[in-house]
Structure 1
Amino acid sequence: MPDFSEKKPYLLQHRRRFMLVLGILLLAEILFHLLWLPWLPQSWLFSVGGLAELTVLAIIVLMFWGAQREPLPDAAYNWLTCGLSLWLVSAVADIMDEVVEQPRWLSAFGEDLMRVFGMVLVAGGVFSLMRHARRVHQQLQSLANTDELTGLFNRRHFNRLGADMQRHGLALLLLDLDHFKQVNDTFGHSVGDEVLQELGRILSLHCPPGGYPARLGGEEFAVLLPAMTAGRLHDLAEQIRLAVAAMCIKPGVRLTTSVGMGCLRSGETLEQLQQRTDRALYRAKALGRNRSEWAD
């Protein structure tokens, strides 16, 4: 997401200059109407139409003030500022039309066309803001659902996906790196982070279509899978285990992983499957690590 704070001093200076120029232009427009155009026999400024145009002017001024005050994306700011400026000039001309007699070329070609172009530019600014809001929403959704270090799904999204998948059956792999703490203690946390990132890459590479790798926390990972045969699930667990044993981050850094495997039983919840598979994972560690074990 863009950081507007770094641009703030420049933006404030630029916007102040622009508002000064616009203010001078509006003042010149008012003086032109009052000094060079004939006054109407009767002013319609406080009629229903005049009050409506004053209300429109107030709304445009408020919108313009908001566009200058808020840290908008550059594209949206440019669209809105240009459009509202034209619309503001047109609105002032509309009000002056209730006081003086405007020539046809000014009311038709100047005032009306300027209002139309201003509204078109404002619409462009609104669409630009909508696109920006959609991008920000997607980024926030990604941050909420993924682990920042590995790019895999986090525990929150893992539970949500599992709840959706359990109606159609699912399988689960739980993985835990063996002796991972020694890597952090010996080589530092930066190397440990590289190990976790590489494991995330391995899980993404070996995960079949319809499966979702996730980092549950620390060195604990999971792969949520659609329902499959026990043989296929075992083969996948072994592929991942062997790939982890073969990865080499730097000389002297060799790791293995223990894996728990489980398939959802009829009437079982994801939490119950996870508990059974977690027990299998710890049984794999108790039996010597670097191995795969079935849940119950």
Structure 2
Amino acid sequence: MMPLPPGRGAARGDTVELPEADTGPGAAADRPRHAAARHLADAVLSDDPRRRIRLTQWLTSVLVYLGSAAVLWVGSRQGWVYAASFIAWSGFLVVAQLAVYVALRSGWSERLNDPALTAAQIVLGVVAVEWGYVICGPARSVTLLPLLLIFTFGAFSLSWRRILWLTVFALTSLIAVAAALHATRPGTGTWSLDNAELRIDLTNVMMILILLPAISLVAARLSSLRSRLRSQRTRLTAALAEVQRLATHDELTALANRRHMQERLTQEQSRFQRLGHPFSIALIDLDHFKFVNDRHGHGGGDEVLRKFARGASAALRAGDVIARWGGEEFLLLLPDTQAPEAQESVERLLAEIRVLPLEDGVPLTFSAGVTEHRPGETVTETVARADRAMYAAKQAGRNRALRQ
């Protein structure tokens, strides 16, 4: 255990346990190598998280192709794969995979509905497998095994409909390839079941007809579950956001509620104590609100509260916060503001509110008490002083802001 210097991840006096690798004799030499490896990984796979995931999946498929190419190379050395056919197959895959890499790494694919190019890569894989089936002679059965792996990638991003169409494409193209292979094979009895080559192809096609739809069904099921989970996550995020909004905002006026304002006041007090930044508050009470309720009912009173909230939100500075404190009372927090400037802001707000039209033409006004937080006092004491100033404004005739 050893202390970290202040500002390097721990407060003064805190201790953290450092990994032994960082304190060993080779740590200084390892760090540049690790940094170089990170830079290389970022250069090849991108530092964008989503793009990096797509490129990592692409790299996985490339490793499978490399393994398959190694098997075919051995076959070419053994004579059951023509060297020219192997070179053409390899050249096709190199060009195709480079094109996919450039599209993913550059971000060009992100303008498409399938930014990972999953469907295109599955089609590419089907073509590669079936081409390998044609050129592998007696060992062609093993070339169909990667076809089962290819469709598992569809579960990550494709809809079940697209997986279905890709499955139909793979099956029909495999049947066509097998038929073309026998149509071009010389000799009589090519289409007879006595032909061993035909029996091998029929067995292969029937096994793929059984296994590939089953794997595609699993992939489609996983894709459906993934879509459902994504939809549920979206709804849950929206629900949590709504719960957070309801917990911190007044439902009628959409302003911050009393609980949220108390938290903000505590934060400002802590900021005042640590940094010395001043802040002021104003307690606002709408004038003659009981008369509004008596004349227009509670519905009319609610509309007046909403109208005041909209007008105040539009008139205040970006950093100011106004909350419904209770009933027709509102509390205004003005960070980094001293009392004289705060009173000017409240008087400007009063001027803006006076011009809001009401149904009976009576101007909307309020009485406000303005005060600045003082050293050594609590937030409750500051609010109480603003409350006294607000009542003084009421007794002085309303429609004004007084400072204490």
| TM-score normalised by the chain length of structure 1 | 0.62
What is the aligned counterpart of 1:278 among 364, 382, 387? 387
What is the aligned counterpart of 1:214 among 323, 327, 341? 323
Shift of 1:199: 0.8
Corresponding residue SS for 2:350: helix
Matched, 1:194 2:303: yes
Corresponding residue SS for 2:388: helix
Determine which structure has more spread, i.e. the larger CA radius of gyration.
2
**Alignment of structure 1 residues 1-296 onto 2, 5 Å:** 104-169=207-272, 170-295=279-404
Shift of 1:107: 4.4
Shift of 1:106: 4.5
Shift of 1:244: 2.4
Q: Which residues of structure 1 form unaligned runs of 5+?
A: 1-78, 87-102
Encode CA deviations 1:23-62: one digit per residue, 9 max, x unaligned: xxxxxxxxxxxxxxxxxxxxxxxxxxxxxxxxxxxxxxxx
Shift of 1:155: 0.6
Corresponding residue SS for 2:219: helix
* Count of residues in correspondence between the two structures: 198
The one-letter amino acid paired with 1:276 is: R
Between the aligned partners of 2:290 and 2:390, the Cα distance in structure 1 is 17
The one-letter amino acid paired with 1:256 is: T
Between the aligned partners of 2:248 and 2:300, the Cα distance in structure 1 is 25
Shift of 1:290: 1.3
Corresponding residue SS for 2:252: coil
Between the aligned partners of 2:270 and 2:336, the Cα distance in structure 1 is 10
Between the aligned partners of 1:290 and 1:203, the Cα distance in structure 2 is 15
Between the aligned partners of 1:201 and 1:270, the Cα distance in structure 2 is 27
8 Å contact from structure 2 (residues 280, 339) kept in 1:
no
Shift of 1:239: 0.9
Identity, in percent, stands at 35
Between the aligned partners of 1:105 and 1:253, the Cα distance in structure 2 is 82
8 Å contact from structure 1 (residues 180, 255) kept in 2:
no
Corresponding residue SS for 1:188: helix
Between the aligned partners of 2:225 and 2:209, the Cα distance in structure 1 is 22
| TM-score normalised by the chain length of structure 2 | 0.46
Q: Which residues of structure 2 form unaligned runs of 5+?
A: 1-158, 165-205, 273-278
Encode CA deviations 1:244-294: one digit per residue, 9 max, x unaligned: 222221134333210110111112222111111111111111122111111
Shift of 1:168: 2.2
